[in-house]
Amino acid sequence: MSTQYSKAFLSGLYRQLYTIRVFETRCIQLYRQGLIRGYFHPYLGEEAIAVGVCAALGPQDYVTSTHRGHGHCIARGADLGRMTAEITGKRTGYCRGRGGSMHIADVSKGNLGANGIVGGSTAIGVGAALSAKLQGCDSVCVVFTSDGGVMNGTFGESLNLAAAWDLPVIFVVENNQYAVSTPVQDTCREPELYRRAAGYGVEAKRVDGNHVLEVYETTADYVRRCREGKGPFVIEALTYRHAGHHVNDPGTYMLEEQKEHYRKIDPCLRGRQFLIELGGASSEEVAAIEAEVERAMEDAVAFAQESPGTEVQDFLQETSIYS
């Protein structure tokens, strides 16, 4: 690591890491209780990517997300109460309960939305970056996509346009090594996905996606260079989800040796270690952060449970969910 970090900065990173971990864990419980309809794709094990990337962004920047997008929302500053309300189908949610788990958006925070279409975020992000360039502002767009998303044609098309037009966009490939249950190496000859960028004349780098500081440093460098007109860039963040593709997938195809390896480099455990060893925080201070996050999550659940649900008539009204 090339940077000295303040205690306050490391505390903020750990708070975000732990918030995502608590949110996902608590929402799995809500799903098991029948309070969340449809699919639910946890971000457990991948928290360092969203937190490290978003820590490098400014308020003028944008992100586009994926079907596994709760972590991106939280790292971009989303309110836990409104997120929980959205996921449980309540009117007080970000999209009035109509988007659910896979379609949360908060344009006020530059979050242009999660996306149920694998790879669907790439073209949207390139459009946002093109808009920023045409307007002459210094906004950067981060496109979150996945190893499965990279296999779609829209990834190559979007990357090619971004390169041809020198757009301020960073493609962040969250490589958790499985597209649903299919290993990366079974779908392409070159499993180091960042290498694809070379064919488009784009600089790229593979980072440890479980190391929040490495993710942050790489993203901060690329954001700075995008603002200087030197984009686009690609980051492949190598990581591993804690379980199956979604809450009802037992993940029996996942290799035990891989799971054991990634348990040892869990992003939340590492973030806690960074805060103590590099930031000088005491175990009591860390425990206080965790207690605050847990209380905030329970308040979010209470807010969602007390909120009115979305009725059939709401879907028939011709009103914008963003009005």
Domain ranges of the chain: 11-308
- Which of 173, 168, 172 lies closest to 231, judged by CA? 168
- Tell me the β-bridge partners of 207: 237
pLDDT at residue number 3: 67
Place of tokens 């993710």: 215
Compute the Cα dihedral for 239, 241, 242, 244 and give only its sign.
negative
Asked, as a colleague might, if the bond just before 232 is cis with ω within 30 of 0, I would say yes
Asked if pLDDT for residue 5 goes beyond 90, the answer is yes
Place of tokens 């209380």: 295
Candidates 3.40.50.970, 3.40.50.170, 3.40.50.150, 2.40.10.480; correct CATH number of 11-308? 3.40.50.970
* First vs last C-alpha separation in the chain: 44
- Residues 69-90 have a mean pLDDT of 97
Three-state DSSP state, 255: coil
Residues 6+ apart with CB under 8 A from 141: 61, 62, 63, 64, 125, 126, 128, 129, 132, 167, 168, 169, 170
- Contact by Cβ (8 Å): 154, 119: yes
Give the residue ranges of DSSP H helices in 33-68: 47-55
0.85 exceeded by pTM: yes
pLDDT at residue number 320: 52
- Residues 258-285 have a mean pLDDT of 97
- Residues 254-258 have a mean pLDDT of 93
Instruction: Report d(CA 159, CA 322) in Å as an integer.
Output: 29
pLDDT at residue number 39: 87
